Amino acid sequence: MIQIYEMGTISDEEIFKRTEPESLVAEPVAEIIHQVRLCGDQALREYSKRFDHVELEALQVSEAELNAALTEAEPEFLDILREAAANIEAYHKNQLRQSFLVNERDGVILGQKILPLEKVGIYVPGGTAAYPSSVLMNAVPARIAGVEEIIMVTPPGAGGKVNSHILAAAAVAGVTKIFKVGGAQAVAALAYGTESIPRVDKIVGPGNAYVAEAKKQVFGQVNIDMVAGPSEILVLADKDSNPAFVAADLLSQAEHDRMASAVLVTDSRELAVLVQAEIEKQIALLSRKEIARDSIDHNGKIILVHNLKEGIEAANRIAPEHLEICTENPFDYLSEIKNAGSVFLGRYNPESVGDYFAGPNHTLPTSGTARFYSPLSVDDFVKKMQFSYYTREALLKDYKKVSYFAQREGLTAHARAAEIRFDSEDV
């Protein structure tokens, strides 16, 4: 059962602690990466046989397989996929940045170019939990940014087939190529390239502990979005909140995995007790009730605060992945929120709306990293290149200052590069 804690009656360490899984996979992941670098496609096939229990001839999903998935998908699901993709596209188009040029000083031109990454790799889980929503959330912003090649990797299922819903989402989102490879070996293939899978510039998307560790180990060879931890939700609710709604929202994250964290922060003891009871009632009805039970019992908590101001302070300290503000006039509190991945305002805006349909991205910082990380966005798929231009007359005004600055740092060659252009002149 979820426990109720009172702010001020137990230590902050107990209230704000996170249960993080111990990483025991660094060594096997390093070996997998080494083998993929050494043996390429052969290693990928061997790992598919060992981990996924399938023998693959072709690693790439064919056009025929993609068309078959679209045929198999329910028309209603395809319609919803397309509508969700349109919402995601409309939201993310607002994130597009423009190049700029500044010419405020005579003879000096400064500027910045915004350039899309050429190749991006998207990892999509495909085991017991297949997430077509993740395809949309990762691929649509990349396409808006102008990425030329969007390479998707996902584990093969029985018979070497990829989940048809994932393939349908890839077709809707504009993915360029799809490969039937999962796990750390897929991350290694994207980072270093194989005979079949092209090397990419950045890898994005969620995965299990092996995938997360592989992303950490290849970072620097390629860029990554973030190293995601267990899913989290924090609901900030007042006394007038519906306990059934709040319980359902907490369970929506608890069902993700056993390490997921569901937290209610409220100034109402009555609501806390009612939510506690509602969770017990609703959890029995879930298809993933065993996972949700472990999550709630070990990582869930209800924090009683004296008032909502104290509740906001607690939320900012926790910096949750998902933050719901279930209060009257929720916009009154938005300006006080400093640390959260995505904020859901109002009593009729569960985080599942954001996971699938509203438009903002659902790839979010976890484990308190919302203090310094942002949700996945178009910015993740572009790079910035700066440029400058000086005329002779413009440099003549500044070269002595440049030289002076360089000499203060002990870099005489830097100073000389500015001075030499005027050595033979009487300036």
Q: Which residue has the tokens 């954001």?
A: 354
DSSP state string for 25-48: -HHHHHHHHHHHHHHTHHHHHHHI
Average pLDDT, the chain: 94
Q: Residue 158's pLDDT is what?
A: 84
Q: Which of 44, 336, 332, 93 is nearest to 191 (CA)?
A: 44
Q: What is the pLDDT of residues 216-239, one digit of tens each?
A: 999 999 999 998 888 999 999 999
Q: Are 350 and 252 in contact (CB under 8 A)?
A: yes
Determine which of 67-71, 86-90, 196-200, 247-251 has the lowest per-residue pLDDT on average.
67-71
Residue 234 to residue 272: CA distance in whole angstroms? 14
**The whole model's pTM is what?**
0.92
Region 56-70: what's the mean pLDDT? 94
From start to end of 136-281, where are the E strands?
Answer: 149-153, 177-179, 202-204, 223-224, 232-237, 261-266
Q: Residue 229's pLDDT is what?
A: 85
Q: Residue 114's pLDDT is what?
A: 97
Annotated active-site residue 104? The verdict is no
Q: What is the pLDDT of residues 148-177, one digit of tens each?
A: 999 999 999 888 889 999 999 999 999 999
Indicate where the chain has its CATH 3.40.50.1980 domain(s): 26-224, 229-369
Task: List the catalytic residue out of 65, 213, 321, 324.
Answer: 321
pLDDT band of 423, cuts 50, 70, 90: confident
Task: List the catalytic residue out of 165, 256, 322, 362.
Answer: 322
From start to end of 139-267, where are the E strands?
Answer: 149-153, 177-179, 202-204, 223-224, 232-237, 261-266
pLDDT band of 208, cuts 50, 70, 90: confident
- In CATH terms, the superfamily for domain 229-369 is Nitrogenase molybdenum iron protein domain (3.40.50.1980)
Q: Residue 22's pLDDT is what?
A: 59
Q: What is the pLDDT of residues 266-305, one digit of tens each?
A: 999 999 999 999 999 999 999 999 999 999 999 999 999 9
Length of the chain: 427
Region 67-71: what's the mean pLDDT? 93
Label residues 26-56 b or e (16+ Cβ within 10 Å = b). Answer: eeebeebbebbbeebbebbbebbeeebebeb
The CATH classification number of 26-224 equals 3.40.50.1980
Annotated active-site residue 322? The verdict is yes
Residue 128, pLDDT > 70, answer: no
At a CB cut-off of 8 Å and minimum separation 6, what does 396 contact?
Answer: 422, 427
Q: Residue 425's pLDDT is what?
A: 66
